[in-house]
């Protein structure tokens, strides 16, 4: 069958596996229309778009209602109280029915072949649970490319513990917006109430299969101009404005990782191995961060930029990140990560 979308003929084929696209949104009216149009123009013939509006106070509701009225592939849901991004991300997945699933942000853009290319890869590799394309990363309001993210280091066949270790060290955060095998996602605990829960979810998912990629740039990701504070992240993820004084994100996240391993379907010896990988990674990270902090305090100001860049590129840089704009990367990534500058 076929349908018209703003004068453009869109072919539909329900014999292809259904892809559910979940779009959680809160106050996204500035970029939401472009994001929806981008999704509707996907050349994959069988998909649904599930929009969950987390009590937006701008014109998000009006935009979504207009699209859902005119487009049968869009299902719009709205709640009257902001329950946080974690709840909303889980909600769109729980409403989905597709064999494959994809989260979409209200401000990201994809080439029309993104979904079809990722699904094709997943159909070819039954042991894979996630497929992402190469991704250009930008700062909001600026189309200049900051860096290109890929999954190159995951291309080699590695065992479960190796994949878990690789994901801890080198998984680019933007890859969470790839296409998932829904049956694998259902084995996980999805997102839970902690900052950076998306990365904990990916760690858990790595226990159930491989991550693969489409080696072409098909996705544009737009990051915020400024890094969030812990308080801002707490409100964004959990939906509560008052962060408890005792809340230490890295401690909560560590135990979230730990509990996901404990409740997995793996054998006890495999769980122990994964716990050891996790402990080794976190201990090494704490020791290294302490050394970095001390180095920053004793380093002369006129040497900080060159030394900081050298240390970052030698020991901290993710090999799955290809830097395009070096000066902007220094300001947006390296300096905030090192925390040597006030």
**What is the distance between the alpha carbons of residues 132 and 118, in angstroms, rounded to a whole number?**
7
Close Cβ partners of 132 (under 8 Å, ≥ 6 residues apart): 118, 151, 174, 175, 177, 178, 179, 211, 213, 214, 219
**What is the distance between the alpha carbons of residues 326 and 292, in angstroms, rounded to a whole number?**
21
> What is the reported pLDDT for 235?
84
Calculate the alpha carbon distances from 234 to 51, 113, 147, 201, 225 in Å: 23, 35, 27, 17, 18
Query: Hey, where are the domains in the chain?
Result: 2-223, 243-338
DSSP class per residue in 146-205: -EEE--GGGSS---HHHHHHHHHHH--GGGGGSEEEHHHHTTS--S-SSTTHHHHHHHHH
**What is the distance between the alpha carbons of residues 54 and 81, in angstroms, rounded to a whole number?**
7
Calculate the alpha carbon distances from 163 to 127, 155, 180, 206, 277 in Å: 13, 10, 17, 7, 11
CATH 3.30.1510.10 fits 2-223, yes or no: no
> What is the reported pLDDT for 240?
82
> What is the reported pLDDT for 14?
65
Is 294 exposed, middle or buried (CB count within 10 Å of its CB: 0-12, 13-18, 19+)? exposed
> What is the reported pLDDT for 262?
98
> What is the reported pLDDT for 158?
77
Do the beta carbons of residue 104 and residue 23 sit within 8 Å? yes
Per-residue pLDDT of the chain (342 residues; tens, 9 = 90+): 444 454 444 455 667 899 999 999 999 999 999 999 999 999 999 999 999 999 999 999 999 999 999 999 999 999 999 998 999 999 999 999 999 999 999 988 999 999 999 999 999 999 999 999 999 999 988 889 999 999 999 988 778 999 999 999 999 999 999 999 999 999 999 999 899 999 999 999 999 999 999 999 999 999 988 888 888 888 888 888 888 888 899 999 999 999 999 999 999 999 999 999 999 999 999 999 999 999 999 999 999 999 999 999 999 999 999 999 999 999 999 999 999 986
**What is the distance between the alpha carbons of residues 131 and 116, in angstroms, rounded to a whole number?**
11
Do the beta carbons of residue 131 and residue 62 sit within 8 Å? no
Do the beta carbons of residue 29 and residue 60 sit within 8 Å? yes
**What is the distance between the alpha carbons of residues 14 and 126, in angstroms, rounded to a whole number?**
21
pTM across the whole model: 0.91
């Amino acid at each position: 069958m076929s349908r018209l979308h703003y004068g453009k003929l869109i072919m539909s084929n329900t014999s292809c596996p259904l892809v559910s696209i979940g779009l959680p949104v809160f106050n996204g009216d500035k970029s939401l229309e472009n994001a929806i149009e981008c999704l509707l123009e996907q050349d994959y013939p069988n998909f649904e778009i599930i929009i969950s509006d987390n009590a937006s106070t701008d014109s998000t509701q009006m935009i979504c209602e207009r699209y859902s009225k005119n487009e049968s592939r869009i299902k719009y849901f709205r709640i009257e109280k902001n329950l946080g991004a974690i709840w909303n991300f889980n909600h769109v997945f729980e409403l989905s029915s597709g064999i494959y699933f994809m989260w979409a942000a209200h401000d990201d853009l994809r080439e029309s072949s993104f979904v079809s290319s990722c699904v094709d890869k997943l159909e070819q590799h039954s042991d894979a649970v996630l497929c992402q394309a190469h991704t250009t990363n930008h700062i909001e309001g600026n189309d200049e490319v900051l860096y290109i993210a890929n999954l190159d280091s995951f291309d080699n066949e590695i065992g479960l513990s190796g994949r878990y270790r690789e994901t801890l060290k080198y998984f680019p955060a933007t890859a969470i917006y790839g296409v998932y095998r829904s049956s694998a996602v259902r084995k996980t605990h999805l997102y839970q109430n902690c900052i950076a829960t998306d990365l904990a979810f990916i760690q858990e998912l790595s226990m159930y299969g491989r991550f693969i990629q489409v080696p072409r740039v098909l996705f544009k990701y737009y990051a915020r101009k400024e890094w969030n504070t812990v308080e801002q992240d707490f409100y964004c993820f959990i939906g509560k404005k008052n962060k408890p004084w005792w809340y230490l994100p890295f401690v909560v996240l560590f135990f979230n990782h730990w509990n996901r391993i404990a409740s997995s379907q793996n054998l006890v010896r495999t769980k122990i191995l994964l716990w050891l990988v996790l402990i080794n990674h976190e201990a090494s990270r704490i020791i290294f961060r302490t050394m970095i902090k001390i180095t920053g305090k004793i380093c002369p100001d006129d040497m900080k930029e060159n030394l900081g860049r050298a240390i970052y590129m030698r020991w901290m840089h993710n090999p799955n990140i290809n830097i395009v704009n070096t000066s902007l990367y220094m300001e947006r990534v390296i300096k905030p990560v090192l925390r040597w500058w006030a």
